[in-house]
């Protein structure tokens, strides 16, 4: 056989081999997507949830995205990938990310105490909260009153409960909120634990960032996080911005879900935004999760790997805990950082599998028991893909 003929046959064999491998990979992808689709279809039909949004990503690509259900229970408008849904306390990861940018830029330090930023705080109050540094506020170790239960809000002036503040006015009230929280006695964790979850702690941390920058948290998030990452997040309930948007749901008198008024009594006070009042579409949730994966691998254009590792896993030698995330080591999965969020009418989960290079983002437009059950029913299908590969 001539050299030319041999070269042609070799090239043909290589092409056929590549095509076969590509076909196998494509077939595996189709099989995985079918399994994921089936899991969401089963959940939306078996559980009392109006809608589900589920994304599964790597640092480079969207592996799977699926939405099911309607914007309003019993309605005809389906939820789309572009519809924002409320992520509740998963907002904390965004606020912690913003704080890391400020520390990286030298605008503030992790060990900066709240009284250094607000020197007018009475010395006795500052001494009562000696542990109230930026990193401790963000890792729930400052012992600030949690502000997670309705009765806790009865202890503060009603002005802090306003839900229609402008960003500038919210910044002013957050500063007043700092002083008010430090007037109250510390709320240490029970049973000798170091961590006590606190929404108020995130408001204090955000107020510190506002003071050193002179800008409201809302503007800082837009400038330093949303614009660089090309994320179109909104502040507050989606239905508050668009009457045809996705509504959260609460149980009615008969136990059946009913749409919650986005301007009603369940609206989150504006000053608490840094602790839990962002809404993102599936498309934007994907961008956020992919940024965290890239950042953990040292590929972010915004935040260095060192800072991202600190946010997700803490640093034992510096006695720092995760900020905006909780982390564990799980057999077969490696390091996993997670957070869930709910303002009472939506439910959201974020899971970052650092050692697998994968992430999951989930949001339901209800926060009932069925939403939790639906998540627990769907998750094993994705976990199997994480452990054994997307096949």
Backbone angles phi, psi at 336, to 5 degrees: -130, 125
With 0.85 as the threshold, say if the pTM is over it: yes
The conformation of residue 224, written as its DSSP 8-state character, comes to I
Cβ pair 206, 262 in contact under 8 A: no
| Helix (H) or strand (E) run with residue 280 in it | strand 278-280
Tens of pLDDT, residues 159-185:
999 999 999 999 999 999 999 999 999
- Could you tell me the pLDDT band of residue 390, with boundaries at 50, 70 and 90? low
Three-state DSSP class for residue 385: helix
pLDDT at res. 192:
73
Alpha helices in 118-266 (DSSP H): 123-128, 134-138, 167-183, 199-213, 217-221, 227-229, 238-241
Tens of pLDDT, residues 341-359:
999 999 999 999 999 999 9
Cβ pair 350, 339 in contact under 8 A: yes
Q: What is the C-alpha to C-alpha distance for residues 68 and 78, in angstroms, rounded to an integer?
A: 7
Identify the burial level of 154 via C-beta atoms within 10 angstroms of its C-beta, where 0-12 means exposed, 13-18 middle and 19 or more buried: exposed
Rounded to 10 degrees, the C-alpha dihedral 244/245/251/254 comes to 20
CA nearest neighbour of 311 among 327, 300, 297: 327
pLDDT at res. 31:
76
Structure-token match 């999760």, residue found = 289
pLDDT at 282 over 50: yes
- Could you tell me the pLDDT band of residue 30, with boundaries at 50, 70 and 90? low
Domains plus CATH for the chain?
33-109+216-388 (3.40.710.10)
Tens of pLDDT, residues 117-157:
999 999 999 999 999 999 999 999 999 999 999 889 988 99
Question: Where is pLDDT greater, at 28 or 205?
Answer: 205
Q: What is the C-alpha to C-alpha distance for residues 17 and 19, in angstroms, rounded to an integer?
A: 5
Q: What is the C-alpha to C-alpha distance for residues 295 and 307, in angstroms, rounded to an integer?
A: 9
pLDDT at res. 10:
44
Tens of pLDDT, residues 76-91:
999 999 999 999 999 9
Q: Kindly state the tokens that stand for 290.
A: 């992919």
Mean pLDDT of 381-388: 90
Q: What is the C-alpha to C-alpha distance for residues 139 and 288, in angstroms, rounded to an integer?
A: 20
CA nearest neighbour of 310 among 171, 164, 110, 157: 110
Backbone angles phi, psi at 270, to 5 degrees: -55, -40
Cβ pair 368, 251 in contact under 8 A: yes
CA 17 to chain centroid: 43
CA dihedral (268, 274, 275, 280) positive or negative? positive
pLDDT at 255 over 90: no
pLDDT at 319 over 90: no
């Amino acid at each position: 056989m001539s050299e030319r003929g041999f070269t042609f046959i070799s090239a043909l064999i290589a092409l056929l081999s590549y095509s076969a491998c590509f076909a196998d990979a494509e077939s595996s992808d189709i099989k995985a997507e079918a399994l994921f689709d089936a899991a969401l279809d089963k959940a939306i039909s078996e559980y009392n949830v109006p809608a589900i949004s589920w994304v599964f990503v790597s640092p480079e690509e969207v592996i799977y995205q699926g939405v099911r259900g309607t914007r309003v229970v019993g309605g005809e408008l389906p939820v789309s990938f572009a519809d924002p849904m409320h992520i509740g306390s998963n907002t904390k990861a965004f606020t912690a990310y913003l704080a890391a940018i400020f520390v990286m830029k030298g605008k503030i330090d992790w060990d900066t105490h709240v009284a250094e930023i607000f020197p007018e705080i009475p010395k006795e109050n500052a001494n009562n909260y000696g542990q109230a540094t930026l990193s401790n506020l963000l890792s729930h170790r400052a012992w600030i009153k949690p502000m997670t239960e309705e009765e806790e809000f009865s202890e503060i002036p009603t002005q802090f409960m306003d839900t229609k503040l402008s960003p500038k006015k919210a910044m002013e009230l957050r500063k007043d909120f700092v002083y008010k929280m430090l007037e109250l006695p510390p709320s240490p964790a029970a049973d000798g634990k170091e961590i006590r979850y606190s929404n108020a702690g995130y408001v204090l941390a955000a107020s510190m960032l506002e003071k050193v920058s002179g800008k409201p948290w809302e503007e800082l998030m837009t400038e330093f996080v949303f614009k660089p990452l090309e994320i179109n997040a909104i502040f507050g309930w989606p239905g508050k911005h668009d009457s045809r948007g996705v509504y959260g749901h609460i149980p009615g008198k008969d136990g059946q879900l009913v749409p919650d008024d986005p301007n009603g009594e369940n609206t989150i006070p504006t000053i608490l935004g840094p602790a839990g009042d962002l809404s993102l579409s599936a498309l934007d949730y994907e961008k956020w999760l992919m940024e965290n994966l890239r950042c953990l691998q040292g590929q972010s254009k915004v935040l260095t790997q060192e800072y991202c590792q600190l946010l997700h896993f803490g640093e034992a030698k510096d006695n720092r805990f995760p900020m905006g995330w909780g982390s564990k080591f799980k057999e077969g999965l490696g390091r996993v950082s997670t957070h869930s969020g709910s303002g009472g009418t939506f439910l959201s989960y974020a899971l970052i599998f650092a050692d697998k290079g994968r992430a999951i983002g989930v949001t339901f437009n209800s926060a009932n028991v069925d939403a939790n059950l639906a998540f627990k029913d769907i998750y094993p299908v994705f976990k199997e893909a994480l452990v054994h590969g997307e096949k």
